[in-house]
Structure 1
Amino acid sequence: MYRCKDLEIWKKNRLFCAEIYSITSKFPENEKFGLTNQLRRASISIPSNIAEGSSRHSNKDFTRFLQIAIGSAYEIKTQLLIAPDLNFINKDELDSLLNSLDAIIKMTSKFKSTLNKSKNLII
């Protein structure tokens, strides 16, 4: 079992979640229940799934939750690519968020791969 607060991927995802909240606070009010809500929920899903997975007693269980977190990251990527089409964010904001997100995906995937190689229990 891992302590999520000690995991770098969890820490980075918490910070990324705050970035998403900050950027979506500038979205139009009528998007409150649209893209704003979708981005916020998906960004919360990543560190939440890492935390839940870290409480599991096997690497297999943990990797399943990491895969869900990665899926949420790709959901965010799609939503972020839609945001400039709607003139909600500019190219610089998009590039910055996508760079952060790509680093998160890479880091989470690498950690997941490491867990997959170790079939031992993580108790």
Structure 2
Amino acid sequence: MKFKFENLIIWQKGMDLGEEMSSLADRFPDKELYNLSSQIRRASDSIALNISEGSILQSAAEYRRFLGYAIRSIAEVVTCLHKAKRRSYIEEDIFNFHYKNCFDLMNMTIAFRKKIN
């Protein structure tokens, strides 16, 4: 037995991204505990949360709205990644890996949102 959203690749990738960002934030300095670490965790967790919450709504317009929230959260994660790189908390290759994952997930989510009628 499964919820329908659990079959969505964007939800699965959103879940993975949340775990990856949580592990990444563990590497940030203690001074970022209530700032960048918290922000990247909340933004990345928000992606899968909004995808799942939107999936149970009756209205396609409401579902698209929640997918929009997920897309905005992906953009927020990307900005946090840029901040982490600029502050030398992560190396270029780590940044590039996560940036590509975010880019792919955003494009997939945008494409999925366009299909919702």
Query: Secondary structure at the residue paired with 1:65?
Result: helix
- RMSD of aligned C-alpha atoms? 1.0
SS in 2 for 1:109: helix
CA deviation vs aligned residue, 1:41-70 (integer Å, no higher than 9, x gap): 000110000010001012111000000110
Unaligned runs of 5+ in 2: none
Deviation by residue 1:53-97 (Cα, 9 ceiling, x = unmatched) = 001012111000000110111111111111111111010000000
- Number of residue-to-residue matches in the alignment: 115
Q: Which residue of 1 aligns with 2:69?
A: 68
The Cα offsets for residues 10-34 of structure 1, whole Å up to 9 and x where unpaired, read as 0010001111011111111111101
Correspondences of 1:30-41 after superposition (within 5 Å): 30-41=31-42
Distance 1:49 1:6 in 2: 15
| Aligned counterpart, 2:11 | 10
- C-alpha distance in 2 between matches for 1:102 and 1:58: 27
TM superposition score normalised by structure 1: 0.90
Aligned match of 2:81: 80
Aligned position for 1:96: 97
The one-letter amino acid of 1:59's match is A
Which residue of 2 is the match for residue 19 of structure 1? 20
Give the secondary-structure state (helix, strand or coil) at the position aligned to 2:84: helix
Taking the aligned partners of 2:8 and 2:100, their CA distance within structure 1 comes to 20
Question: Structure 2 CA distance, aligned partners of 1:56 and 1:32?
Answer: 34
Gaps in structure 1 of 5+ consecutive residues: 119-123
SS in 2 for 1:33: coil
Mark the structure with the bigger radius of gyration.
1
Q: Equivalent pairs: percent with the same residue?
A: 33
Structure number with higher relative contact order (C-alpha < 8 Å, ≥ 6 residues apart): 1
